[in-house]
Structure formats: C-alpha cells, structure tokens
Structure 1
Amino acid sequence: MRALFKEARPGAQLIEVPEPTPSHGEILVEVMATSICGTDMHIYNWDAWARSRFPAPMVFGHEMTGKVVQVGPGVNPDMVKVGDHVSAETHVACGHCLQCRTGRKHICKNLRILGVDMPGIFAQYAVIPAENAWVNDPDMPWEVASLQEPFGNAVQTTLAGPGVSSRTVLVTGCGPIGLMAIQVARASGASLIIATDPNETRLHKARELGADLTLDPRSTDVVKAVYDATRGDGVDTLLEFSGNQAAIRQGFQSLTYGGHASLLGIPAGAIEFDLANDIVFKAATVTGISGRKMFETWYQVRELVTRGKVDLRAVISHHVPMTHFEAVFEAVRAGNAIKPVMLPQEV
C-alpha cells in the first residue's frame, strides 16, 4: 500500500509499505480521508519536539475516517464490524492507571497517540484499536468524518467549565480548531464572540463562522478593544488556541474578574506570565484541555455535526490526493491553508 513514511529528517516520503494486519482487539480500516494537524506539521518539519518524541522511521498522521475491512480476534461485533464507517479516537489509553480507572482515559498517564507514538494513518490502510473506533452514520461525508477528532478538541475547550451560553467569549488563535470553536460558541448561545489572529484570511473566515468582532494584534490594542466591546468588564470566557505568549497574555488581561479560561494551545517553550494579577487576584478559573473526553465529547460532536449546528466543511481549504502531500504541507507551513484533507485512495 502507499503510505507517508517519516524518517529522521525534514519532510516525508510517499512509498510502498506492507499492508498492516490487525492483531487481537484491532481493526483494519481502508482510509478514505485524512486531515493534517499541527502535530503532523511538527513531525513533518522535524523540529525539536518531534525529534524528542517521534520514533522514526514510521508512518505518521492521526486524523482519519474510513471503512472497516477486517477485524482481529477478540473484537466485539456489537462494538464495530466489517463494513462500518469509522473515525478514530487517536488517544490510546492503557486502561489500568489511576486516571483510566477513574473515568479519565483522555488523560491516561501512559497515553499513546496514533501516528505519534505508534504507526499512523497517512496510508491507504491503517490498523487501530477497536475500542478507539467511533462508528459514523454511513451517509456522513468522508471529509467531514475525518475532522471529528480535531473538532472534539474545539468542543471540549468551548464547553469546559461553565460553558459559553449567554457569555462573552474571546478566541485567541483562529487556526482550524479556533475556527471550529467559534462555531461551537455560536451554536451554544454565546452573547458576544471576539477573535484574534494575525492572519487576515483566518480573521475573514472567523467572521464568516460567527465572530462578532475580529482583531489583528499587529495593528490593534487587543486588550483595549476587548474592554471597549464588553462595557469595560472584560470577557467571561477565554478560549486559547494559539500557544503564542503575547496572545496568552492578552487573553488573560482581557478576562473579567471571576472569568474562566480554557487552554488548548501549546507554547513552544516556557513563557513568562503574571500569575498574581491575571489569575490569583482575578479569582480566575483555568482549565487545561488535553484532547477529547472518551467518549463524552464524541457524543457531543455527533449531535453538533449531524443536526447541522456546525459546518465542518467550512474550515476545509484543500481536497487533494495523498500524492500531492508536499504541496499541502507547504501550504500549511506558509499560512495559506486552514484545514487540508488528503484522500489516500485517489491518485
């Protein structure tokens, strides 16, 4: 089969590799659509994080959907069977640590991630644990189904804590997950949504998807603009997706006293932060977000998508065969793509 193979250097190769075989408790999926994540870009670029984490050489990628073509021994047919259309929950939990045994598999302390710690899905066929398969409605478009995993990050971030209903919201970072979060906040009844990003294309898309006010931090005093828009109170909720130190500071400075912050963005390293004034004296509540709750968030995702509350196709910027992978990875790196979808079965 064709697969994107990653060696210990920048870039990737589309090569022929043996088709995998499912072992006990696993399924083999014919991959119909995959999407590119920020994590994949770290691996593709072979940056310091990737060098310290990714066990090259190996197939990478983790956001996917496809058809089950084979099940290994020990798979419960009531859970998943041949012919099912599935997406993958990419966090593979151990099942026996404290977190797993207390209903928090998404933060398993022995967590492995598809395409990061174990072979991935940028391929024509992929093996995943059966318990990580999410069975989709058969009429869900492949490209939509492939985005449910990252969309789950947006859902958990937005709905954490008190949620956003009737609350003012600041979204820092309008990459694909930030843009998805804007849709979730709008569908959940946020009273005001403000979004920040230095990319005008992304700000334009944020306005299309429901942001009431968009701010370019390169030309705008973000904190002043937020306070002006909220009658001097600041926002009730901060949704942080950028991982950028300046944006994080602006977000917390814009947060009202007693507000709630959900943090998904990952800084490149340690950052300086005014803990006393921005959290302690504000009595702010801060929630770190790691992936999706297994599988509470997936049920929320399904309702939002299948009932038309959000349109995941709105964040897709490219539909290309996997043979065109170099062009879309370069488009992402240059800031000229939002969410590319690759189709492994097309040439």
Structure 2
Amino acid sequence: MVSGKMKAVVKNDSAFGAVLAEVPIPHIEKHEVLVKVKAASICGTDVHIYNWDQWAQQRIKPPYVFGHEFSGIVKAVGEHVSNVKVGDYVSAETHIVCGKCIPCVTGKQHVCTQTAIIGVDTAGCFAEYVKVPSQNIWQNPADMEPAIASIQEPLGNAVHTVLDSQPAGASAAVIGCGPIGLMAVAVAKAAGAAHIVAIDKNEYRLSLAKQMGATLTISIEKEDPLQIVSALTKGEGIDLVCEMSGHPSAIEQGLKMAANGGRFHILSLPEHPVTIDLTNEVVFKGLTVQGITGRKMFSTWRQVSNLLQSKLLDISPVITHQFPLEEFEKGFELMREGQCGKVILIP
C-alpha cells in the first residue's frame, strides 16, 4: 500500500479561499481504489466551495481536500476489488450511490436518494492521490490526453442534457456558456443539430462557443434573445432549450423561446426559488421540462467515451488554461472572473 504525505488543495476554514498543504495519503478500504492524479479540472461547484457561498456554507464541512474531476493511474486496490488493477488509466463517476434504493435497483442510479459526491461529501482530487469506490471507476483509452480524460465527468453532464432529446436536424439553444454550456454546444453539433444558438453576456465565452460549433451567438448585454430567436425560427421557437445559467430572467426567456411541443432541459442550479408562468409557458405549449442531474450510470459515460474516440466530438478548445497544483489560486481567479473555459490543475 502507498503511505506517507501528499500535497493537496485544502478547504481549511469556513471562509473564502483554500490553502496548499501536506496531508496524509488516503488509506483505502476493501472496496476502494487509490489513484495517482495526472490531471484535475476545476468545476463550478469547486468555485462555490472556494467562494464559500450560501450553498457551500450549508453543505461543506472543512477542513478537507476538494475537487472531483480527474484522471490518473491506479496505484493500489482493496482486497475485494476485481474490476480494476494497479497500473490502469482511469477517471471516475463522482456520484457515490447506495445501490439499494428504488431508483438504484430500477436502473436510475443517477437519481439515487442517498447520493454522496466525491470532493463534496468525501475527500477529493485536488491532490497527488485520491481514493474512490471501485464501482465508480471508469477505464480510459491509453491514448486519451489526461486533461481531456479529466473533464469526461462534466462532459457527461452536457451529453446527458443534450442527448436526452433528439437534436438531429432540430434547433437547439444553450443559455449560459460556462464550461459545461460550451461542451453542450459541441455535443449538439456532433449530434447534428441544424441550428445551435449560444446565449451569454460574457464575450470571451461567446467567442469560445463559436469555436465549439455555435451557428449563432447572442450577447444579452447588446441584443434581445427573444427577437433574434423568433426571426431565426420564423416565430416557431427552439426545439431544445438547454438552461445552464441558473439566472431567473434567463430561465424565463428560455421558456418563452421554446417551441410548442419542444423540450426545456435544466442543468443549472438557481440559488433561489424561481417564479415561472406554468400556464402559458409550459402547459399551453405542451412543453416537456426535464431536470438533468449527473450522468446516467454508466450509459452516459459510454456515450462520452465513444464520441471522443470517434472524433465526432472535439472539446479541446474548451480547455484554455493549465497550471501546476501549486498555482491553484490563478485557476480559481480565472474561473471567478469568467475569463476561461476549463482550467486544469496538474499535481
């Protein structure tokens, strides 16, 4: 077994920020795997934890190592582990599920009633090593770049959001062009969407959306999305609206621009309750509204892997910055300012 100390980014106090520290290498149990991290990416959830916002204050219990998106090499396995071996190149599903509740036993593990999250409820991957339940391990192709392999988890969110509809030949809109929104643009392109509208206020990220395959970008600071979408669709509306921003006015606009009989998929997490016009924007429109949480285990992972290996999906433009783990603060500042795509930390 591997033992000793490792460097890690630790949420040390109930306050803004984090620190680089030396902590013990995790000790694995019988059903766990120890992974030496090759690349870890910063997620919006990590920024919430770093900022110590209201959500983090209610959920997080410092001190602990955070981070949950990674790739790496297996260095040790528990005595009851048979699905993975030392030397395997892996990533991990971050939702730890119970396997016993009704959703789990009926094939809906992604909505397990007892879900715990790596790097949120357990020690995470902003470190040299991370331990993971063996059932959460995903094997990576040997030739996949570590940075790409580390963002398969959030890419799975984008794949789940877009491909739980039938986007081929349809119109799609992505509201909110953070990293997962940008990946959703690329997924819609790979799936054959005829029109892909990207909507945001951040000009930097709108330029990235064009690189990812958006056929039209709309800056809400300068333009009226509803007028532009109405002209584009001849008043019919968008077939698939993917809400990634969590902003109440964006949600309202998204519902209005959705076509009658269309779909409205929500991956975002609004900080407060949102008021919507159910009668006119959902019921009378015959709109299907679907909440998207996590990735289907493990069918979404298979879709992600196959799309990447087939070269139908190119998400490399979304990775805009890479830093040594010691320079984690630079990465978090870029994420907080919105002047980046995906930021990768290298232990």
Q: TM-score range by the shorter chain?
A: over 0.9
Shift of 1:334: 1.2
Residue 319 (structure 2) aligns with: 316
Shift of the alpha carbon at 1:23? 0.5
Secondary structure of the 2:262 match is strand
Contact residue 147 and residue 312 of structure 1 kept, 8 A: no
**Other structure's SS at 1:333 match:** helix
- Any idea what the Cα deviations from partners look like across 1:134-166, whole Å, max 9, x if unmatched? 000111110000010000000000011x32111
- What is the match of residue 3 of structure 2? none
CA distance in 2, matches of 1:11, 1:210: 35
**What are the Cα deviations for residues 101-145 of structure 1, in whole angstroms up to 9, with x where unaligned?**
111111100000001011111100010001100000111110000
- Within-5 A mapping of 1:178-189: 178-189=181-192
Distance (Å, rounded) in 2 between the aligned partners of 1:56 and 1:42: 14
Deviations 1:150-195 (A, max 9, x none): 00000000011x3211111111011111111111111111011111
Residue 96 of structure 1 is matched in structure 2 by 100
The equivalent of 2:9 in structure 1 is: 4
Could you say which residue in structure 2 is the equivalent of 1:127?
131
Q: Secondary structure at the match of 2:168?
A: coil
Q: Which residue of 68, 71, 78 maps to 2:74? A: 68
Distance in 1 of aligned mates of 2:212 and 2:55? 32
* Equivalent AA in structure 2 for residue 101 of structure 1: V
Q: Return structure 1 stretches of 4+ with deviation > 3 angstroms.
A: none
Q: Is the 8 A contact 2:212 2:315 kept in 1?
A: no
Alignment of 1:234-249 (within 5 A): 234-249=237-252
* 1:205 matches 2:208: yes
Please list, as runs of the form range in 1=range in 2, the aligned pairs for 1:3-22 lying within 5 A after superposition. 3-7=8-12, 8-22=14-28
Which SS does the other structure have where 1:17 is aligned? strand
Determine which of 235, 254, 258 is the counterpart of 2:261: 258
Conserved 8 A contact 2:242-2:264 = yes
Q: Matched residues in 1 for 2:326 and 2:180: separation?
A: 25
Query: Which of 48, 55, 65 is the matching residue for 2:54?
Result: 48
Alpha carbons 1:106, 1:290 under 8 Å: kept: yes
Which stretch of the first structure deviates more once superposed, 308-317 or 14-23? Answer: 308-317
Per-residue CA deviation, residues 52-93 of structure 1 (Å, 9 max, x unaligned), is 0012111100000100000011001xx211100000100000
Once the two structures are superposed, the pairs formed by residues 265-284 of structure 1 within 5 Å of their partners are: 265-284=268-287
Instruction: Give 5+ residue unaligned stretches, structure 1.
Output: none
1:318 CA drift (Å): 0.7
After superposition, the C-alpha distances for 1:211-254 in whole angstroms (9 at most, x for unaligned) are 11110112111111101001111111101111111111111100
- Percent identity (aligned): 48
SS of the counterpart of 2:343?
strand
Aligned equivalents of 1:126 and 1:266: distance in 2? 27
CA distance in 1, matches of 2:322, 2:209: 21
| Rounded Cα–Cα distance in structure 2 between residues aligned with 1:322 and 1:260 | 40
- SS of match in other structure, 1:23: coil
**Structure 2 equivalent of residue 113 of structure 1:** 117
Aligned partners of 1:195 and 1:75: how far apart in 2?
Answer: 44
The 1-side partners of 2:22 and 2:199 are apart by 42
Q: TM-score, normalised by structure 2?
A: 0.97
Secondary structure, in 3 states, of the residue corresponding to 2:255? helix
User: Which residue is equivalent to 1:151?
Assistant: 155
Measured in 2, the distance between the counterparts of 1:94 and 1:194 equals: 38
**2:141 aligned with 1:137, yes or no?**
yes
Q: Distance in 1 between matches of 2:235 and 2:15?
A: 50
**In structure 1, the residue corresponding to 2:24 is in which secondary structure?**
coil
The within-5 A match list for 1:189-200 is 189-200=192-203
Match of 1:57 in 2: 63
Q: What is the rounded CA distance, in whole Å, between the counterparts of 1:142 and 1:193 in structure 2?
A: 29
Q: Deviations over 1:242-297 (max 9, x none)?
A: 11111111111001111011110111111121111110110100110001000000
Q: How many residues align?
A: 341
2:8–2:126 Cα contact (<8 Å) kept: yes
TM-score when normalising by structure 1: 0.97
